[in-house]
Structure 1
Amino acid sequence: MGLEVESRPSDSPFIERVWRSRSSAVDRMTSVATANWDLVFWEHRGQVSASVQGPESRSSEAPVPEDATFFGVVFSLGTWMPHLPVNRLVDGSAELHGTTRRSVWLKGTTWRRPRYDNAEEFVRRLVREGIVERDPVVAAALDGAPPGLSSRTLQRRFAAATGLTQGAIQRIERVRQAAIMLREGLPAQDVIHRLGYFDQPHLARSLTRYVGRTATQLGERDPVRPLSLLYKT
Protein backbone atom coordinates (compact mmCIF):
# COMPACT_ATOMS: atom_id res chain seq x y z
CA MET A 1 0.00 0.00 0.00
CA GLY A 2 1.23 3.53 -0.72
CA LEU A 3 4.14 3.96 -3.11
CA GLU A 4 6.14 0.89 -4.11
CA VAL A 5 9.50 2.20 -5.31
CA GLU A 6 12.40 0.43 -6.98
CA SER A 7 15.58 2.23 -8.03
CA ARG A 8 19.08 1.50 -9.27
CA PRO A 9 22.31 3.45 -9.79
CA SER A 10 23.77 3.97 -13.25
CA ASP A 11 27.25 3.77 -14.74
CA SER A 12 26.46 6.65 -17.12
CA PRO A 13 28.08 9.99 -16.19
CA PHE A 14 24.88 11.68 -17.32
CA ILE A 15 22.54 9.68 -15.05
CA GLU A 16 22.37 9.77 -11.26
CA ARG A 17 19.73 7.09 -10.84
CA VAL A 18 16.86 5.26 -12.56
CA TRP A 19 13.64 4.51 -10.70
CA ARG A 20 10.13 3.15 -11.11
CA SER A 21 7.12 3.02 -8.81
CA ARG A 22 3.46 2.13 -8.48
CA SER A 23 0.83 3.93 -6.41
CA SER A 24 -1.93 2.29 -4.41
CA ALA A 25 -4.26 3.70 -1.73
CA VAL A 26 -2.40 7.00 -1.45
CA ASP A 27 -3.44 10.40 -2.80
CA ARG A 28 -0.63 12.71 -1.67
CA MET A 29 3.09 12.56 -0.92
CA THR A 30 5.77 14.81 0.51
CA SER A 31 8.20 15.80 -2.22
CA VAL A 32 11.69 16.28 -0.77
CA ALA A 33 13.98 19.02 -2.09
CA THR A 34 16.40 17.79 -4.72
CA ALA A 35 19.14 19.43 -6.76
CA ASN A 36 18.67 17.02 -9.68
CA TRP A 37 16.10 17.11 -12.46
CA ASP A 38 14.17 14.09 -13.75
CA LEU A 39 12.63 12.89 -16.97
CA VAL A 40 9.45 11.19 -15.75
CA PHE A 41 6.88 8.99 -17.50
CA TRP A 42 3.62 7.79 -15.97
CA GLU A 43 0.50 5.91 -16.96
CA HIS A 44 -2.88 6.42 -15.34
CA ARG A 45 -6.21 5.04 -16.53
CA GLY A 46 -4.78 4.25 -19.95
CA GLN A 47 -3.29 7.68 -20.51
CA VAL A 48 0.49 8.02 -20.88
CA SER A 49 2.22 11.27 -19.90
CA ALA A 50 5.76 12.58 -19.57
CA SER A 51 7.43 15.67 -18.22
CA VAL A 52 10.75 17.14 -17.25
CA GLN A 53 10.62 17.75 -13.50
CA GLY A 54 13.00 20.51 -12.43
CA PRO A 55 15.10 20.73 -9.26
CA GLU A 56 13.12 21.44 -6.09
CA SER A 57 14.52 24.11 -3.78
CA ARG A 58 12.30 23.14 -0.82
CA SER A 59 9.85 20.44 0.24
CA SER A 60 6.26 20.50 -1.00
CA GLU A 61 3.10 18.41 -1.03
CA ALA A 62 2.28 16.68 -4.32
CA PRO A 63 -0.81 14.77 -5.50
CA VAL A 64 -0.46 11.10 -6.44
CA PRO A 65 -2.90 9.55 -8.94
CA GLU A 66 -4.49 6.30 -7.79
CA ASP A 67 -3.22 3.05 -9.34
CA ALA A 68 -0.63 4.73 -11.55
CA THR A 69 2.78 3.50 -12.68
CA PHE A 70 5.83 5.75 -12.92
CA PHE A 71 9.29 5.54 -14.44
CA GLY A 72 11.99 8.19 -14.15
CA VAL A 73 15.57 9.02 -15.04
CA VAL A 74 17.37 11.25 -12.53
CA PHE A 75 20.10 13.16 -14.37
CA SER A 76 23.44 13.87 -12.75
CA LEU A 77 24.31 17.35 -11.55
CA GLY A 78 25.84 19.41 -14.32
CA THR A 79 23.80 17.62 -17.00
CA TRP A 80 21.17 19.71 -18.77
CA MET A 81 19.07 20.12 -21.92
CA PRO A 82 19.91 23.47 -23.57
CA HIS A 83 16.49 23.73 -25.23
CA LEU A 84 14.81 23.47 -21.78
CA PRO A 85 16.99 25.68 -19.54
CA VAL A 86 17.03 24.08 -16.11
CA ASN A 87 17.06 27.47 -14.34
CA ARG A 88 13.53 27.98 -15.66
CA LEU A 89 12.39 24.64 -14.28
CA VAL A 90 13.36 25.09 -10.61
CA ASP A 91 10.26 24.22 -8.54
CA GLY A 92 8.41 23.53 -11.78
CA SER A 93 8.13 21.21 -14.75
CA ALA A 94 7.66 21.09 -18.52
CA GLU A 95 5.13 18.65 -19.96
CA LEU A 96 6.22 16.66 -23.02
CA HIS A 97 3.18 16.57 -25.28
CA GLY A 98 2.48 13.73 -27.69
CA THR A 99 3.87 10.98 -25.46
CA THR A 100 2.57 7.46 -26.13
CA ARG A 101 3.36 3.98 -24.80
CA ARG A 102 6.04 3.67 -27.49
CA SER A 103 7.37 7.17 -28.11
CA VAL A 104 8.17 10.56 -26.65
CA TRP A 105 8.49 13.91 -28.43
CA LEU A 106 11.70 15.85 -27.65
CA LYS A 107 12.94 18.96 -29.44
CA GLY A 108 10.88 18.38 -32.56
CA THR A 109 11.76 14.68 -32.90
CA THR A 110 9.98 11.46 -31.98
CA TRP A 111 12.08 9.09 -29.86
CA ARG A 112 11.41 5.51 -28.82
CA ARG A 113 10.31 5.65 -25.20
CA PRO A 114 12.93 4.35 -22.75
CA ARG A 115 12.37 1.61 -20.20
CA TYR A 116 13.76 0.96 -16.76
CA ASP A 117 16.42 -1.39 -18.11
CA ASN A 118 17.56 0.63 -21.15
CA ALA A 119 17.63 4.22 -19.88
CA GLU A 120 21.37 4.48 -20.54
CA GLU A 121 20.95 3.62 -24.23
CA PHE A 122 18.22 6.26 -24.55
CA VAL A 123 20.35 8.95 -22.90
CA ARG A 124 23.38 8.04 -25.04
CA ARG A 125 21.30 8.79 -28.13
CA LEU A 126 20.17 12.11 -26.67
CA VAL A 127 23.80 13.02 -26.00
CA ARG A 128 24.85 12.10 -29.55
CA GLU A 129 22.14 14.37 -30.95
CA GLY A 130 23.12 17.27 -28.68
CA ILE A 131 19.82 17.26 -26.78
CA VAL A 132 21.57 16.47 -23.48
CA GLU A 133 24.89 18.06 -22.51
CA ARG A 134 27.10 18.04 -19.42
CA ASP A 135 29.23 20.86 -18.04
CA PRO A 136 32.56 19.25 -17.04
CA VAL A 137 33.55 22.26 -14.91
CA VAL A 138 30.43 21.98 -12.74
CA ALA A 139 30.83 18.21 -12.44
CA ALA A 140 34.49 18.59 -11.41
CA ALA A 141 33.69 21.33 -8.89
CA LEU A 142 31.06 19.11 -7.26
CA ASP A 143 33.69 16.38 -6.97
CA GLY A 144 35.96 18.82 -5.13
CA ALA A 145 38.37 19.63 -7.98
CA PRO A 146 39.68 23.22 -8.18
CA PRO A 147 37.61 24.95 -10.89
CA GLY A 148 40.33 27.25 -12.22
CA LEU A 149 37.70 29.95 -12.74
CA SER A 150 36.63 33.05 -10.85
CA SER A 151 33.84 32.51 -8.32
CA ARG A 152 31.48 34.67 -10.39
CA THR A 153 32.12 32.65 -13.56
CA LEU A 154 31.70 29.39 -11.64
CA GLN A 155 28.38 30.52 -10.20
CA ARG A 156 27.16 31.42 -13.68
CA ARG A 157 28.09 27.94 -14.87
CA PHE A 158 26.26 26.40 -11.90
CA ALA A 159 23.15 28.49 -12.55
CA ALA A 160 23.08 27.46 -16.22
CA ALA A 161 23.75 23.76 -15.67
CA THR A 162 21.80 23.14 -12.44
CA GLY A 163 19.48 26.11 -11.88
CA LEU A 164 20.88 26.44 -8.35
CA THR A 165 23.91 27.88 -6.61
CA GLN A 166 26.70 25.62 -5.43
CA GLY A 167 25.82 26.46 -1.83
CA ALA A 168 22.14 25.54 -2.32
CA ILE A 169 23.14 22.19 -3.83
CA GLN A 170 25.40 21.43 -0.87
CA ARG A 171 22.64 22.29 1.63
CA ILE A 172 20.10 20.12 -0.18
CA GLU A 173 22.47 17.15 -0.47
CA ARG A 174 23.43 17.40 3.20
CA VAL A 175 19.85 17.46 4.48
CA ARG A 176 18.90 14.53 2.23
CA GLN A 177 21.72 12.54 3.83
CA ALA A 178 20.50 13.65 7.27
CA ALA A 179 16.98 12.41 6.44
CA ILE A 180 18.32 9.02 5.33
CA MET A 181 20.36 8.64 8.54
CA LEU A 182 17.38 9.57 10.71
CA ARG A 183 15.11 7.13 8.85
CA GLU A 184 17.67 4.41 9.54
CA GLY A 185 17.47 5.15 13.27
CA LEU A 186 20.63 7.20 13.83
CA PRO A 187 20.18 9.59 16.79
CA ALA A 188 19.84 13.26 15.85
CA GLN A 189 22.96 14.20 17.83
CA ASP A 190 25.03 11.76 15.81
CA VAL A 191 23.62 13.19 12.56
CA ILE A 192 24.50 16.70 13.70
CA HIS A 193 28.06 15.66 14.46
CA ARG A 194 28.61 13.64 11.28
CA LEU A 195 27.20 16.21 8.87
CA GLY A 196 28.45 19.40 10.50
CA TYR A 197 25.22 21.05 11.65
CA PHE A 198 25.69 23.70 14.34
CA ASP A 199 23.10 22.27 16.72
CA GLN A 200 19.68 20.62 16.88
CA PRO A 201 17.70 23.78 15.93
CA HIS A 202 19.92 24.15 12.83
CA LEU A 203 19.13 20.58 11.79
CA ALA A 204 15.44 21.03 12.60
CA ARG A 205 15.16 24.15 10.42
CA SER A 206 16.84 22.38 7.51
CA LEU A 207 14.56 19.35 7.82
CA THR A 208 11.45 21.52 7.92
CA ARG A 209 12.46 23.52 4.85
CA TYR A 210 13.93 20.83 2.63
CA VAL A 211 12.33 17.56 3.78
CA GLY A 212 9.02 18.62 5.30
CA ARG A 213 9.42 16.27 8.27
CA THR A 214 10.82 16.51 11.77
CA ALA A 215 13.50 14.12 13.03
CA THR A 216 10.83 12.30 15.06
CA GLN A 217 8.55 11.91 12.05
CA LEU A 218 11.40 10.52 9.94
CA GLY A 219 11.91 7.81 12.55
CA GLU A 220 8.29 6.62 12.40
CA ARG A 221 7.82 3.12 10.97
CA ASP A 222 4.50 3.86 9.24
CA PRO A 223 4.39 7.50 8.13
CA VAL A 224 1.00 8.95 7.28
CA ARG A 225 2.25 10.31 3.94
CA PRO A 226 5.04 8.79 1.82
CA LEU A 227 8.22 10.68 0.91
CA SER A 228 9.57 11.09 -2.57
CA LEU A 229 12.59 9.01 -3.47
CA LEU A 230 15.48 9.18 -0.99
CA TYR A 231 18.55 7.08 -1.60
CA LYS A 232 22.13 6.69 -0.47
CA THR A 233 24.74 8.22 -2.72
Structure 2
Amino acid sequence: MYRERASRLPGAAVWTSVPAEGDGPGRVLPDGCMDLLWHDGRLLVAGPDTHAYVDGSSAGPWSGICFHPGTAPTLLGVPAHELRDRRVELADVWPAAEVRRATARVHGAHHPARGLEDVALRLAASAGPPDPLLTRLVAALDAGRPVAGTADALGLGARQLHRRSLAAFGYGPKTLARILRMRRALALAHAGVPFAETAARAGYADQPHLSREVRSLTGVALRELVPPPGAAS
Protein backbone atom coordinates (compact mmCIF):
# COMPACT_ATOMS: atom_id res chain seq x y z
CA MET A 1 0.00 0.00 0.00
CA TYR A 2 1.30 3.43 -0.99
CA ARG A 3 0.34 6.60 0.86
CA GLU A 4 1.46 10.16 0.20
CA ARG A 5 0.86 13.55 1.76
CA ALA A 6 2.10 17.08 1.26
CA SER A 7 5.19 17.88 3.30
CA ARG A 8 5.74 20.84 5.57
CA LEU A 9 8.65 21.53 3.21
CA PRO A 10 7.05 23.48 0.34
CA GLY A 11 6.84 21.50 -2.88
CA ALA A 12 7.88 18.20 -1.30
CA ALA A 13 5.80 15.11 -0.58
CA VAL A 14 6.17 12.55 2.20
CA TRP A 15 5.29 8.96 1.40
CA THR A 16 5.24 5.43 2.76
CA SER A 17 5.04 2.13 0.92
CA VAL A 18 4.29 -1.27 2.43
CA PRO A 19 4.36 -4.05 -0.19
CA ALA A 20 1.58 -6.58 0.09
CA GLU A 21 2.31 -10.29 0.19
CA GLY A 22 2.80 -11.60 -3.32
CA ASP A 23 3.65 -8.23 -4.84
CA GLY A 24 6.26 -8.40 -7.57
CA PRO A 25 9.10 -5.96 -8.13
CA GLY A 26 8.09 -2.33 -7.72
CA ARG A 27 8.20 -0.01 -10.74
CA VAL A 28 9.04 3.62 -9.95
CA LEU A 29 8.25 5.94 -12.84
CA PRO A 30 10.48 8.94 -13.64
CA ASP A 31 9.09 12.19 -12.27
CA GLY A 32 11.94 14.73 -12.33
CA CYS A 33 12.44 14.37 -8.58
CA MET A 34 14.97 12.98 -6.12
CA ASP A 35 14.07 11.27 -2.84
CA LEU A 36 15.60 10.76 0.58
CA LEU A 37 14.66 7.21 1.61
CA TRP A 38 14.47 5.13 4.78
CA HIS A 39 14.49 1.35 4.53
CA ASP A 40 15.54 -1.36 6.95
CA GLY A 41 17.19 1.17 9.27
CA ARG A 42 19.23 2.81 6.49
CA LEU A 43 19.16 6.19 4.78
CA LEU A 44 19.46 6.20 1.00
CA VAL A 45 19.17 8.70 -1.83
CA ALA A 46 17.21 8.02 -5.00
CA GLY A 47 18.69 9.96 -7.88
CA PRO A 48 16.70 11.34 -10.82
CA ASP A 49 15.49 8.63 -13.17
CA THR A 50 15.55 8.75 -16.96
CA HIS A 51 13.46 5.57 -17.14
CA ALA A 52 11.43 3.42 -14.78
CA TYR A 53 13.40 2.04 -11.85
CA VAL A 54 12.46 -1.57 -11.16
CA ASP A 55 13.17 -2.51 -7.56
CA GLY A 56 13.55 -6.22 -7.01
CA SER A 57 14.35 -5.87 -3.31
CA SER A 58 11.26 -4.04 -2.06
CA ALA A 59 10.46 -6.36 0.87
CA GLY A 60 9.47 -4.51 4.01
CA PRO A 61 8.21 -0.95 4.45
CA TRP A 62 9.78 2.09 2.79
CA SER A 63 9.45 5.74 3.72
CA GLY A 64 10.61 8.72 1.73
CA ILE A 65 10.45 12.41 1.09
CA CYS A 66 10.22 13.39 -2.55
CA PHE A 67 11.78 16.76 -3.31
CA HIS A 68 10.40 19.16 -5.90
CA PRO A 69 12.38 18.95 -9.16
CA GLY A 70 15.69 20.80 -8.93
CA THR A 71 15.72 21.34 -5.15
CA ALA A 72 17.41 18.20 -3.79
CA PRO A 73 20.98 18.84 -5.03
CA THR A 74 21.27 22.00 -2.95
CA LEU A 75 19.83 20.30 0.13
CA LEU A 76 21.92 17.13 -0.19
CA GLY A 77 25.09 18.77 -1.44
CA VAL A 78 25.57 16.65 -4.56
CA PRO A 79 24.92 17.44 -8.26
CA ALA A 80 21.94 15.52 -9.56
CA HIS A 81 23.77 14.04 -12.56
CA GLU A 82 26.12 12.15 -10.22
CA LEU A 83 23.14 10.16 -8.93
CA ARG A 84 21.21 9.79 -12.19
CA ASP A 85 19.42 6.41 -12.38
CA ARG A 86 21.00 5.31 -9.09
CA ARG A 87 20.03 4.44 -5.51
CA VAL A 88 22.93 5.01 -3.11
CA GLU A 89 23.56 4.96 0.63
CA LEU A 90 23.50 8.44 2.13
CA ALA A 91 26.90 7.52 3.59
CA ASP A 92 28.26 7.62 0.03
CA VAL A 93 27.24 11.27 -0.19
CA TRP A 94 27.62 12.68 3.34
CA PRO A 95 30.30 12.46 6.04
CA ALA A 96 29.76 9.57 8.45
CA ALA A 97 29.05 11.82 11.45
CA GLU A 98 26.24 13.63 9.61
CA VAL A 99 24.73 10.35 8.49
CA ARG A 100 24.75 9.07 12.07
CA ARG A 101 22.95 12.20 13.31
CA ALA A 102 20.34 12.00 10.57
CA THR A 103 19.85 8.27 11.13
CA ALA A 104 19.33 8.83 14.85
CA ARG A 105 16.77 11.56 14.12
CA VAL A 106 14.75 9.31 11.79
CA HIS A 107 15.06 6.30 14.06
CA GLY A 108 13.89 8.31 17.07
CA ALA A 109 10.88 9.86 15.34
CA HIS A 110 7.32 8.71 15.92
CA HIS A 111 7.34 7.49 12.30
CA PRO A 112 10.27 7.32 9.85
CA ALA A 113 8.45 9.55 7.38
CA ARG A 114 8.16 12.27 10.04
CA GLY A 115 11.85 11.87 10.82
CA LEU A 116 12.78 12.25 7.15
CA GLU A 117 10.66 15.38 6.97
CA ASP A 118 12.44 16.83 10.01
CA VAL A 119 15.83 16.12 8.41
CA ALA A 120 14.71 17.79 5.18
CA LEU A 121 13.39 20.86 6.99
CA ARG A 122 16.71 21.28 8.81
CA LEU A 123 18.57 21.02 5.51
CA ALA A 124 16.29 23.58 3.89
CA ALA A 125 16.76 26.01 6.78
CA SER A 126 20.50 25.93 6.20
CA ALA A 127 20.35 25.99 2.40
CA GLY A 128 17.95 28.89 1.96
CA PRO A 129 15.15 29.20 -0.62
CA PRO A 130 15.18 27.36 -3.97
CA ASP A 131 16.74 29.03 -6.99
CA PRO A 132 13.84 31.08 -8.46
CA LEU A 133 15.17 30.57 -11.99
CA LEU A 134 14.95 26.79 -11.63
CA THR A 135 11.47 27.14 -10.16
CA ARG A 136 10.40 29.16 -13.21
CA LEU A 137 12.04 26.65 -15.53
CA VAL A 138 10.14 23.71 -14.05
CA ALA A 139 6.86 25.63 -14.09
CA ALA A 140 7.31 26.60 -17.75
CA LEU A 141 8.21 23.11 -18.92
CA ASP A 142 5.44 21.56 -16.85
CA ALA A 143 3.01 23.91 -18.58
CA GLY A 144 4.16 22.52 -21.92
CA ARG A 145 6.22 25.48 -23.08
CA PRO A 146 9.06 24.67 -25.51
CA VAL A 147 12.61 24.43 -24.20
CA ALA A 148 14.06 27.03 -26.59
CA GLY A 149 11.37 29.59 -25.81
CA THR A 150 11.74 28.95 -22.08
CA ALA A 151 15.50 29.48 -22.28
CA ASP A 152 14.97 32.79 -24.08
CA ALA A 153 12.41 33.91 -21.52
CA LEU A 154 14.83 33.11 -18.70
CA GLY A 155 17.73 34.86 -20.42
CA LEU A 156 19.82 31.70 -20.68
CA GLY A 157 21.81 30.34 -23.58
CA ALA A 158 21.36 26.73 -24.60
CA ARG A 159 24.68 25.61 -23.10
CA GLN A 160 24.14 27.42 -19.82
CA LEU A 161 20.64 26.00 -19.52
CA HIS A 162 21.90 22.48 -20.19
CA ARG A 163 24.73 22.83 -17.66
CA ARG A 164 22.43 24.12 -14.94
CA SER A 165 19.87 21.44 -15.73
CA LEU A 166 22.43 18.66 -15.37
CA ALA A 167 23.36 19.86 -11.90
CA ALA A 168 19.78 20.48 -10.79
CA PHE A 169 17.79 17.72 -12.50
CA GLY A 170 20.38 15.16 -13.57
CA TYR A 171 19.74 15.56 -17.28
CA GLY A 172 19.08 18.20 -19.89
CA PRO A 173 15.92 20.32 -20.16
CA LYS A 174 14.54 18.30 -23.08
CA THR A 175 14.57 15.12 -20.99
CA LEU A 176 12.94 16.97 -18.11
CA ALA A 177 10.26 18.28 -20.47
CA ARG A 178 9.56 14.74 -21.77
CA ILE A 179 9.19 13.37 -18.25
CA LEU A 180 6.94 16.19 -17.06
CA ARG A 181 4.76 15.84 -20.17
CA MET A 182 4.40 12.11 -19.54
CA ARG A 183 3.38 12.77 -15.94
CA ARG A 184 0.71 15.22 -17.14
CA ALA A 185 -0.57 12.64 -19.61
CA LEU A 186 -0.74 9.86 -17.03
CA ALA A 187 -2.64 12.13 -14.64
CA LEU A 188 -5.20 12.85 -17.36
CA ALA A 189 -5.50 9.18 -18.32
CA HIS A 190 -5.93 8.11 -14.69
CA ALA A 191 -8.70 10.71 -14.40
CA GLY A 192 -10.59 8.92 -17.16
CA VAL A 193 -9.69 11.14 -20.12
CA PRO A 194 -9.62 9.00 -23.31
CA PHE A 195 -6.12 8.30 -24.60
CA ALA A 196 -6.55 10.27 -27.84
CA GLU A 197 -7.76 13.33 -25.94
CA THR A 198 -5.03 12.83 -23.34
CA ALA A 199 -2.42 12.90 -26.10
CA ALA A 200 -3.78 16.14 -27.55
CA ARG A 201 -4.15 17.89 -24.19
CA ALA A 202 -0.68 16.84 -22.98
CA GLY A 203 1.03 18.07 -26.15
CA TYR A 204 1.70 14.88 -28.12
CA ALA A 205 1.31 14.68 -31.88
CA ASP A 206 -1.23 11.86 -31.55
CA GLN A 207 -2.07 8.79 -29.47
CA PRO A 208 0.68 6.60 -31.02
CA HIS A 209 3.22 9.28 -30.09
CA LEU A 210 1.94 9.21 -26.51
CA SER A 211 2.14 5.41 -26.44
CA ARG A 212 5.72 5.38 -27.76
CA GLU A 213 6.86 7.94 -25.19
CA VAL A 214 5.23 6.11 -22.30
CA ARG A 215 6.85 2.82 -23.29
CA SER A 216 10.22 4.53 -23.81
CA LEU A 217 10.18 6.17 -20.37
CA THR A 218 8.47 3.43 -18.34
CA GLY A 219 9.26 0.17 -20.13
CA VAL A 220 5.61 -0.86 -20.29
CA ALA A 221 2.60 -0.07 -22.45
CA LEU A 222 0.23 2.77 -21.57
CA ARG A 223 -2.62 0.30 -21.07
CA GLU A 224 -0.58 -1.54 -18.44
CA LEU A 225 -0.24 1.65 -16.45
CA VAL A 226 -3.80 2.84 -17.05
CA PRO A 227 -6.10 -0.13 -17.74
CA PRO A 228 -9.21 0.67 -19.80
CA PRO A 229 -12.44 1.21 -17.83
CA GLY A 230 -13.97 -2.09 -16.81
CA ALA A 231 -10.74 -4.06 -17.22
CA ALA A 232 -10.13 -6.74 -14.62
CA SER A 233 -7.78 -5.68 -11.82
The amino acid across from 1:95 in the alignment is E
222 and 61 in structure 1: CA distance in 2 versus 1, 3 angstrom threshold: farther
- The question of 1:179 aligning with 2:176 is answered no
Counterparts of 2:136 and 2:77, CA distance in 1: 23
For residue 68 of structure 2, what is the aligned residue in structure 1?
A: 76
2:82 aligned residue? 88
Contact 2:37 2:64 in 1 (8 A): yes
Q: TM-score, normalised by structure 2?
A: 0.77
Cα distance in 1, alignment partners of residues 90 and 116 from structure 2: 17
- What's the Cα RMSD here? 2.6
Q: From the superposition, tell whether residues 65 and 142 of structure 1 become closer, same or farther in structure 2 (CA, over 3 Å).
A: closer
Alignment size in residue pairs:
207
Among 40, 46, 49, the alignment partner of 2:42 is 49
Q: Deviations over 1:179-232 (max 9, x none)?
A: 233233321111011111111221111110112332322333566xxxxxxxxx
Partner residue, 1:160: 167
1:141 matched to 2:137? The reply is yes
Q: Deviations over 1:38-63 (max 9, x none)?
A: 001112xxxx1221000110124221
Give 1:166 deviation, angstroms.
1.5
SS at match of 1:216: helix
Select the residue among 115, 122, 126 that pairs with 1:125: 122
Unmatched 5+ stretches in structure 1:
99-104, 224-233
Identify, as 1 or 2, the structure richer in strand: 1
User: Does 1:62 pair with 2:55?
Assistant: yes
Q: Flag the structure with higher helix content.
A: 2
Does structure 1 retain, via aligned residues, the 8 Å contact 2:181–2:203? no
Higher relative contact order (CA 8 A, sep 6+): 1
State whether structure 2 residue 177 is matched by structure 1 residue 151: no
Q: Unpaired runs of 5+ in structure 2?
A: 141-149
